Amino acid sequence: MPEPLLLERQDAVAIISINDAPYNRMSLEFIDRLEVIVDELAGDHSVRAVVLTGEGQDNFSVGMNLKQLPAGIERMGSPDALFDQRLRVINAIETMGKPWIATLFGFCLGGGLEVPLGCHFRLAAAENAQIGLPEMDLGTVPAWGGSARLSKCVGRNHALDMILRGKKISGPEALRIGLANEVWPLAELKDRAIALAHELAAQPALAVSSMLALILGSQDRPLEELLQAEREAVKATMGTADSKEGIMAFLEKRRPVFNQ
């Protein structure tokens, strides 16, 4: 069996590729390996941004390998345990404190959208992307947090439209409704995601982590709490080596060099 995921390092950027082209199914082996990698990256301070993509140019991922569902339930002991693992991994991605960038191309269906919804940036292909949560076509509903995260990302109306109709949308449509941050030609998509990761990795790590935590929690907290959390983030970054470098670079009219 080939490795379900490929892991590459480019300086402070980690690149994870689903290794099951052309469909890049999210197998039992995939989720097990992803959980291990996520845990490792969380503790690796030399990694400051992560790209999640799929091998080949056909599909990011068609989602869970449904043929493995009975075996997965048997191995984990219950449906709840099986799906809890997936929710746990996606939550760990979202709350790691390091920006994750997902590439959306070809089929991005079911888990193939739900995992990117846990990422902080999504770059979509300008052509041939089919992005959706089509579980209704199977007589069921999203099981990896898709309904909750999609609603928060694009709002109730767009989420209902996509989920209840089993609707698959294009990259440009994903950009229009706020599901994607940027759209690029497929031939450029992965390179642009990696370039964005390097850009984010060059930002001051503590400040990035603070803002990820603050902004991700902003929808569920009153304004007063958010203002206090922002003030605490300001205090935490004041006087650090990165803040001193940023001020000095501004005064010297040069680009700052953070995370030294």
d(CA 40, CA 53): 18
User: Residue 240 in 3-state DSSP?
Assistant: coil
Whether 57 contacts 2, CB under 8 Å: no
- One-letter amino acid of 249: A
For the record, the structure tokens of 87 come out as 């929710």
d(CA 107, CA 57): 11
Q: Exposed, middle or buried by CB within 10 Å (0-12, 13-18, 19+), for 191?
A: exposed
For the record, the structure tokens of 219 come out as 């929808």
State the DSSP string of 44-80: -TT--EEEEEESSSS-SB--B-GGGHHHHHHHHSSHH
Catalytic residue among 29, 114, 127, 173: 114
Catalytic residue among 8, 29, 127, 135: 135
114 as an active site residue: the answer is: yes
Active-site annotation, residues: 114, 135
